[in-house]
Chain A
Amino acid sequence: MKVVVAVKRVVDYNVKVRVKADNSGVDLANVKMSMNPFCEIAVEEAVRLKEKGVASEIVVVSVGPSAAQEQLRTALALGADRALLVESNDELNSLAVAKLLKAVVDKEQPQLVILGKQAIDSDNNQTGQMLAALTGYAQGTFASKVEVDGAQVKVTREIDGGLQTVALNLPAIVTTDLRLNEPRYASLPNIMKAKKKPLEVITPDALGVSTASTVKTLKVEAPAARSAGIKVKSVAELVEKLKNEAKVI
């Protein structure tokens, strides 16, 4: 079966971001960018499904600027067969991305679409669920285990109190949680081979999708800083401070 994986180019998770002085957003000039960590897990799961003989073709899709080709090449080096970039320089909201992905799903007709559970920049946790709504497919969010079984996929989900398992009719949408797998690294020969794999670039207009949004960002601020704390010398001093100064125990 065909698997579509969506990946996003985001600021690297180790970067401590800074808010711009004019409060218009976060300063991303000259900041290291990477594939969103949850998307890496999504690519890895698709590659493992292919290695098991469950998936026959992996199409990796990104919606974003031209530079997102870098992340698509990374996914190709990890084992995806071909890539599709829906090129847009606007900052798109989750619904717009879900609509673009819906158009791609209509075109590609995959049996399974795998996304990360959230992107670490916007922290929205929406796109997979929205894509499921637009396609009418069932959804298995926050997946820590995925087993394709005939016309169904069994997904174990990380929920607040523990784990929940659901069976979804295929085609279906799955979003990955951290513990689904440990993503592999791309080897140098595979990085070289990935340069020759097909990468198609299209525009939202070509897909006939409007990316207008009902939500706008008015400003972005740094969070309130915590006042500097103190180092205490002993357990006795700590307990005394917690009881008499902070009054929390």
Chain B
Amino acid sequence: MAILVIAEHNNGVLGAATLNTVAAAQKIGGDIAVLVAGQNVGAVAEAAAKIAGVARVLVADDAAYAHQLPENIAPLVVSIAQNFTHLLAPATTNGKNYLPRVAALLDVDQISEIVEVLGADTFKRPIYAGNAIATVQSSAPIKVISVRTTGFDAVSAEGGSASIEALGEVFDARSSTFIGEELAKSDRPELTAAKIVVSGGRGMGNGDNFKLLYALADKLGAAVGASRAAVDAGFVPNDMQVGQTGKIVAPQLYIAVGISGAIQHLAGMKDSKVIVAINKDEEAPIFQVADYGLVGDLFELVPALEKAV
């Protein structure tokens, strides 16, 4: 078996999601290569070569790959795909963007967001917003798989000494152009990798009140998330959304404040180790999944909690 893991990065730093994806590759078993495609990615390639368990790092360094446009990344991956039995990418917005394009070009089905490896061709994945778990088997000659990062513990970023090889051929479809991006700035840990997540919902009332959660999060070293209701109401930006259509998190501790617990929200956080719910409605569905529930006014309870920890 030969497995290609496509690295997540921002041209400067290797994304943590890559380490979880390599962990899934190790469960499948076989030689693991990592593809780093981007522009000026020397440092990323070196970081990838140090990942425990990685044998080879393939580097495609060109302006065409600077923003990982799928029109350019997909043909690049397809050009080397015949050397592998499995192609894996993390189920980040990037991975979700280019990987199905790769699968279709190879004329194989893709398996999305696996959470467990049962064998080289059999995997588990959630469907219906996580309300059912499907076991699927692939007979494709090249298995194209995206990996839900919260399903696999990250491998060590140190200890490996992979060889680094440059890929010469450049694919530039010129059918799309990068115009710009607006990235939300935050000093707090990244939502999907944080050990503790504090999330607010519609019950927060407005965006200003989220500062109660920021204060608590800073005390705990936590990331701050939100429900769709809070995002749609304009309290916080959309990249903070936790749920079926937002980010999937599985921290050690998830504190849901003023969140009722709709199916779509639970899909994004119900694999957290410990769930705490703070809500004034004692009937809220969130209490059905919470390990510890606290019924009462969040405007009193959250500041009290911040003082107490």
**Is residue A93 contacting chain B, with contact meaning CB distance below 8 A?**
yes
Q: Is B232 within 8 A of A179, CB to CB?
A: yes
- The reply to whether B103 and A239 contact each other, CB–CB distance below 8 Å, is no
Which residue from A118, A144, A214, A235 sits with its C-beta under 8 Å from B238?
A144
Task: Establish whether residues A232 and B293, one from each chain, have CB atoms under 8 Å apart when the complex forms.
Answer: yes
Stretch of A60-68, A71-79, A159-167, A193-201 with 4 or more beta carbons under 8 angstroms from chain B: A159-167
Q: Is B228 an interface residue (CB 8 A)?
A: yes
Q: In the complex, what residues of B have CB within 8 A of residue A118's CB?
A: 245
Q: By the criterion CB–CB under 8 Å, are B129 and A120 in contact?
A: yes
Minimum C-beta distance from A103 to chain B (A): 14
Measured between beta carbons, the chain A residues less than 8 angstroms from B177 are 166-167
Interface of A is mostly: mixed
CA distance A140 to B177 in the complex (A): 11
Contact B180 A165 (CB under 8 A): yes
Q: How far is the CA of A128 from the CA of B110 in the complex (A)?
A: 13
| List of A residues within 8 angstroms of B294 by Cβ | 231-232, 234-235, 238
**Contact in complex: A215, B138 (CB < 8 Å):** yes
Say yes or no: A139 contacts B70, CB within 8 Å. Answer: yes
A88 close to B (CB within 8 Å): no
Complex CA gap A94/B140 in Å reads 14
A133 beta carbon closer than 8 Å to chain B:
yes
Residues in A whose Cβ lies below 8 Å from that of B71: 138-139
Residues A160 and B134 in contact, CB atoms below 8 Å apart: no
The docked-state distance in angstroms from the alpha carbon of A236 to that of B196 is 19
Q: Which of B265-304 contact A (CB under 8 A)?
A: 270, 273-276, 282, 287, 289-295, 301, 304
Is there contact, CB below 8 Å, between B136 and A216? yes
Mask of A72-98 contacts with B, CB within 8 angstroms, 1/0: 000000000000000000000111001
A29 at the interface (CB under 8 A from B): no
**Which of A44-52, A183-191, A241-249 is the interface stretch?**
A241-249
**Known contacts A139-B70, A235-B301, A249-B253, A123 near B135 by CB under 8 Å:** no
Whether the Cβ atoms of B122 and A218 lie closer than 8 Å is yes
Complexed CA–CA distance, A122 and B244 (Å): 12
Complex-state Cα separation, A128 to B109, whole angstroms? 13
Cβ of B109 and Cβ of A249 under 8 Å apart? no
Known pairs A179-B238, A215-B140, A246-B274; A159 contacts B181 (CB<8 A): yes
Contact (Cβ within 8 A) B100 A126: yes
A129 at the A/B interface (Cβ < 8 Å)? yes
User: Given A218-B122, A223-B131, are A98 and B104 also a contact pair (CB < 8 Å)?
Assistant: yes
**Is A230 close to B, CB under 8 A?**
yes
- How many residues of B are counted as interface, with CB atoms below 8 angstroms from the partner's CB atoms? 88
Residue tally, chain A, CB below 8 Å to B: 80
Residues of the A chain whose Cβ atoms lie less than 8 Å from the Cβ of B282: 231
Residues on B with beta carbons closer than 8 Å to the beta carbon of A26: 127-128, 131-132
18 contacts between A and B (CB under 8 A): A26-B131, A93-B109, A95-B103, A127-B100, A130-B103, A140-B176, A163-B181, A166-B179, A169-B175, A178-B245, A218-B137, A219-B135, A223-B130, A223-B133, A232-B293, A246-B291, A248-B253, A249-B196
Across the interface, which residues of B come within 8 angstroms of A132, CB to CB? 70, 101
Q: Which residue of A lies closest to B191 (CB)?
A: A160
Measured CA separation A229–B100 after assembly (Å): 39
Q: Which of B178-205 contact A (CB under 8 A)?
A: 178-184, 192, 196
Determine whether B237 belongs to the interface, using a CB cutoff of 8 Å to chain A: yes
Set of chain B residues within 8 Å of A93, measured between Cβ atoms: 109
Residue B109 contacts which of A13, A95, A129, A172 (CB distance < 8 angstroms)? A95
Check if A202 is an interface residue, CB within 8 A of chain B: no
Are A235 and B304 touching (Cβ within 8 A)? Answer: yes
Give complex CA distance A118, B146 in Å.
14
Determine the chain A residues whose CB is within 8 A of the CB of B182 once the complex forms. 162-164
In the assembly, what is the distance between CA of A177 and CA of B100, in Å? 17
Among A126, A158, A215, A221, point to the contact of B136 (Cβ < 8 A): A215
Contact check, B104 vs A133: say whether CB atoms are below 8 A apart.
yes
Q: Digit string of A142-179 for contact with B (CB within 8 Å is 1, else 0)?
A: 10100000000010011111111111110010000111
